[in-house]
Amino acid sequence: MRIGHITLANRLFAAPMAGVTDRPFRQLCKRLGAGYAVSEMVTSRKDLWASLKTSRRADHQGEAEPIAVQIAGTDAAMMAEAAAYNVERGAQIIDINMGCPAKKVCSQWAGSALMKDEALALAIVEAVVSVCSPQRVPVTLKMRTGWCAAEKNAVRIARAAELAGIAMVAVHGRTREQGYTGQAEYETVAAVKRAVAIPVVANGDIDTPRKAREVFAATGADAIMIGRAAQGRPWIFGEIAHYLATGEDARPPRVADVKLWLLEHLEDHHHLHGDFSGVRSARKHIGWTLRGLPGGDAFRVEMNGIESCAEQLRAVGEWFDALADTQALMPSAPVPTQRAELH
């Protein structure tokens, strides 16, 4: 699997998600089997680049290559400048966001709203590619099937983007109008794959190894992208890889291993986000991991009252030690009900 001249470890990707796929989480996903992971979206507004939020999103210190940064905006020149800014700071792949359905993004005509203005969408693609090509930085595009059911224009946009120099297209199998409701469909993804020669990535509702195999078969996609199913279960990438290779389910991870992965992730998370923000933003990662485990609901309540990073680490470690005394392996986890903003 290649994006431009860059060879990836495999064809299992971690989807960009706002508030989730920061550098520590991307590192964890890659460690546990993802061949590729994309950053949370970085705004093209220059006045916000120095903000703490954006600076954290642009932190790639120690990250395993390739480093992929997603940018979002509505002005071609600003998007080109944002691409150049992130390449200077280590981005090896630039991804253009035309997939986010969040109202706060689409109300500014960014994200998947760009699919409603194909001329602007193409102008942005051309501007970003023109900046990145001389640096040998591939540009990719993340989009939906279309703006609404009556106007599924993913194939048309993919063809134009390919001609403009886009190196890969990822398609979430829903329209902007759907948001995250209903079921993802893969017919449009398959149509995009047939229409272009560049790699195509299928995204949406891939939550088990069997579903991954079904989506590969239904779409002919070169890779799949997993979002919510990796929340609290980042080892899903390894599970899928094992199933695709052997046709058999992987052995569930040991509780002791999950404890080690989570504690190391939390330490990295705390270091990036600081004591005050880190302990609070880490709660969702802990909660996702505890989902479906005996006593998990009660511990989440206790966790919300902890405001020290050191105390959070201690409490999590002790809780998993107690769990390991009662069961050695992790049970199957349900797919998250919380809808993170997948880009």
Residues classed as catalytic: 100
Provide the 3-class DSSP secondary structure of residue 37.
strand
β-sheet bridge partners, residue 241: none
Measured in Å, how far apart are the chain's first and last C-alpha atoms?
21
Instruction: Decide if 44 contacts 73 (C-beta within 8 A).
Output: yes
Q: How many CB atoms lie within 10 A of CB 197?
A: 7
Q: Judging by beta carbons within 10 Å of its beta carbon (0-12, 13-18, 19+), is residue 110 exposed, middle or buried?
A: buried
Closest-CA residue to 46 (of 81, 76, 86, 96): 81
Say how far residue 145 (Cα) sits from the centre of its chain: 18
- Whole-number Å distance between alpha carbons of 101 and 114: 10
Instruction: Decide if 287 contacts 306 (C-beta within 8 A).
Output: no
